[in-house]
Structure 1
């Protein structure tokens, strides 16, 4: 295919999952794309960096999981996935509990053996709390798992993560909390799960083969120049920034990652350990080698510190409360009437996505974009 470097069919702002899937599918349909990203690497937040034979998840743990066979087959068409199963553990002041909340958790906490006993314990605690119609995250969590689990394994972690008291957080944040009455430490219920062999960056590299990519480019610093480079724009950045924050700034939570190499073969015995007490400043420690069953002599760990977001920081989690949802609707109304701009991904749609959801959304957008294209 001859690439017209003067004018492309698409300018894709962001080399993460959404932008890379779109660029790959556009290329399959004979379209040209220029992909730009302000970071020094492709992959967005799923980027993995090989450090001393260990694939380090630079922006937090990413475990691929889905019930959608088409999406699973799609990602496996780029790389092979291993059999990693997400089974995090919680550390509450030195006490270790299995996650998600299951019979192993209930047995250690209460000494119960059967699902019936565990359900009775939770029902009693819910009754004693007097919660009938949960109005916030705290009440929703107690209604799901009782007061003991809430106090030890949810409250501190959640308040660190969101920087707000649990009583001020909406109940929907916790509604998808996995609770199961089996001795099963698999966090996800999805049929398909794993980590790409060799890291996520390999997937993005495969998607972007034969496509022009420019890194360390800030779209907003050279907006006029890049807007002239293509017929249409696929924008995966912050939607409020695209519209120059004219209605105000959408709010996010941010993260800081502190990584270190340790000259020991095994630091914590698990890929992910959550620290659920309020006093520990970080929410979790990731030991990257365990995602791929590594046997290296050394190990690399990363501590995650949540923080308020401000300009210049990376936005990770949208704060989908009433105030921000109303603000986003104003920006979406502008986006909906754009004829030459496609908005996609978590920042452009102000929505938290798992990886399989990002890919599904990108493929749906591709079908919509090219439905009349033979």
Structure 2
């Protein structure tokens, strides 16, 4: 018998397993994939740590979370400074004075703000009702048309005027010459890849890979007192209220033999709608690699279908109402703990997943000493 069956060897499941194991609890972690780490898993190609499921840059303002992850790995000084290419023109991201100067020739924050104000007024927007109007309100029509519209519509598979305004609020806008994407105090990539962290978290914990919880549900649940479930909450309840919707991603990863530096930056966004991928990731730059070859991944957004990896929840009214019904069932469970992005139907950054897992651990063991 185990104290906990943990379904999913990603960040949430691994943090819970580590903390439970520390407290003398016996855990079994299972995952349907052939590796631990979930979407933060890094695969070694040409001695380069490849972010198999897309770019993962750790960033947080929470000192306790930062110190927590640093007990498992040393972090480098990587700073996320992506660039955008539109019609062969290069622009700095996030939107900052370098972006505004390239577009309009402005050199002061006041000039940039005035340009945005003029374009917002010309568009006649007072209260933004959708992503398009929200974006124009924040950065003006020019930036919206060149750097937001095409990228966003590829990413979400929907017209920008059909998407909710809150999506664009995640994007930083600053009136300084600062290309650092994140405002967070702490930022970096674990030296050696995220596998270093997950392997240390799961040391001394029983792990079984290539197993599907739903194919052997009764068998697995009989092994443990409680279940920690990090998968899709609608699947847990056999889709009784319907199927929650996601966007998915397809990656084309290849080794580039004829150069050691393909694009000069870890992340380059392609904002033309005519180009089918949203960005190219060159993995070696996350760790300042000096290898003779390089590895790139083209990222293609797509509609999620059963059997594919769900990445981004579509948090519109219909899906949020459906999730609420599932969550009402979940909070009534006495022997099942739900956690992580799929069980919460919410987009999480890594530090948020870890924070949620630690709160869950505290609640679980404060009441079950």
Q: C-alpha separation between the residues in 2 aligned to 1:206 and 1:303?
A: 30
For the pair 1:289 / 2:266, whether they are aligned, the reply is no
How far is the alpha carbon of 1:74 from its aligned partner?
Answer: 0.3
Of 268, 274, 277, which aligns to 2:272? 277
SS of corresponding position for 2:199? helix
Q: How far apart, in 2, do the equivalents of 1:312 and 1:42 lie?
A: 19
The reply on whether 1:91 has 2:82 as its aligned counterpart is: no
Q: 1:1-374 counterparts in 2 under 5 A?
A: 7-263=1-257, 264-374=259-369
**2:277, 2:195 → 1: CA distance?**
26
What is aligned with 1:3?
A: none
In structure 2, the gaps of 5 or more residues are: none
Stretches of structure 1 that go unaligned for 5 or more consecutive residues are 1-6
Distance of 1:176 and 1:287 partners within structure 2? 23
Question: What TM-score do you get using the length of structure 2 for normalisation?
Answer: 0.99
CA RMSD of aligned residues (A): 0.5
**Post-superposition offset of 1:52:** 1.4
Give 1:175 shift. 1.3
Distance 1:196 1:49 in 2: 14
Q: Give the Cα–Cα distance (whole angstroms) in 2 for the partners of residues 322 and 223 of structure 1.
A: 31
After TM superposition, the score normalised by the length of structure 1 is 0.98
Distance across 1 between alignment mates of 2:308 and 2:158: 19
Measure, in 2, the Cα distance between the counterparts of 1:373 and 1:231: 13
- Measured after TM superposition, the shift of residue 176 of structure 1 is 2.2
- The SS at the match of 1:97 is strand
How big is the shift at 1:234? 0.2
Question: Which whole-Å CA distance do the structure 2 matches of 1:275 and 1:321 have between them?
Answer: 26
- Equivalent in the alignment of 1:4: none
Q: Distance in 1 between matches of 2:311 and 2:270?
A: 19
Cα distance in 2 for partners of 1:152, 1:321 equals 25
In structure 2, distance between residues paired with 1:259 and 1:269: 17
Partners in 1 of 2:186 and 2:306 — Cα distance?
37
Deviation sequence 1:147-175 (CA, Å, 0-9, x none): 00000000000000000000000001011
In 2, distance between residues paired with 1:121 and 1:297? 45
Runs of 4 or more consecutive aligned structure 1 residues displaced over 4 Å after TM superposition? none
User: C-alpha deviations, 1:136-156, integer Å up to 9, x for none?
Assistant: 000000000000000000000
Cα distance in 2 for residues equivalent to 1:27 and 1:219: 21
Q: CA deviation at 1:282?
A: 0.2
Q: 1:335, 1:179 → 2: CA distance?
A: 38
